[in-house]
Amino acid sequence: MKQLSEYKSWLKNIIDNNQEDEYLEFVWEIMESPFVEYHYELMKDPEMDDDFRRNLRFRFNEHGEEGAAFLLSKLEKNEDPEFHAAILFILGKTKGKQKEKTMEYARKFVKSQDPLLRENAFIVLGWIGQMKDLIILKKGLFEDEQPKCRAWSASSYMQMWFRNENSHLRVKAFEAYKTALPNEKDYIVLSVILSSIRVMGKTKLGISQTALDAMDREKIDTVIPKALKFLEKALNNN
């Protein structure tokens, strides 16, 4: 196993000699090393290559419980607040005994003034949240001023449903979508809501996923009344 000094020398050589093809190999090795803090410092270093930092963040959860405990300590001490959104995202992907603490932070951060932190909080609740968190998703979908936050709130109903195809969860999602659809003006959010209805309702709604991904305004506007009728019928059958 390499020593920390060897990793530092290796990275310096990669940077000095523009050996970009070695960045990925470096990531694969550092994620299996015991040098959690060094990995962390690299992935938040603005001087590093963007793709390199992105790959470092994507693989940090490979440190498992040790890595999760390290990240949680940053949140507990309120260190590196500008990096809290990335920390929460990584914790949401990390399986283990830190799940409850991660959920607590996600519930807290949906109230943050930082839109990116709120986005990631809604995403994480979709990954690991519980039924009691549906009220948080509903509030985010109805009230958050940022379209991306509303979109992630809508999507997180579906993410929770993927983990447990619960009929009660689907009813709560459909109720929220039924209220949100007539009032929502942003096409990103509308696209996500309609995509979620297609998946959870196992219906095509007369619109393709390609059109939704492209945010085809004309097709989305046309299908909204049909989606509302579908939701009404689905809810009446429950």
**Can you tell me the mean pLDDT for 51-55?**
96
**Token pair for residue 87?**
């920390």
Query: Using 50, 70 and 90 to split pLDDT, how confident is the model at 95?
Result: confident
pLDDT at 209 over 90: yes
Residue type, 210: T
pLDDT at 222 over 90: yes
Residue 97's pLDDT is: 87
* HEC profile of 61-127: HHHHHHHHHHHHHHHHCCCCHHHHHHHHHHHHHCCCCCHHHHHHHHHHHCCCCCHHHHHHHHHHHHH
First vs last C-alpha separation in the chain: 58
| Cα 237 from chain centroid (whole Å) | 32
Q: How many CB atoms lie within 10 A of CB 53?
A: 19
pLDDT tens-place string over residues 8-22: 999 999 999 999 899
Contacting residues for 58 by C-beta, under 8 A, at least 6 apart: none
Q: How far apart are CA 99 and CA 81, in angstroms?
A: 20
pLDDT tens-place string over residues 102-152: 999 999 999 999 999 999 999 999 999 999 999 999 999 999 999 999 999
Residue type, 175: E
Region of 3 please: left (phi>0), alpha (psi -120 to 50) or beta.
beta
pLDDT at 238 over 80: no
* In the chain, domain spans: 1-129, 137-238
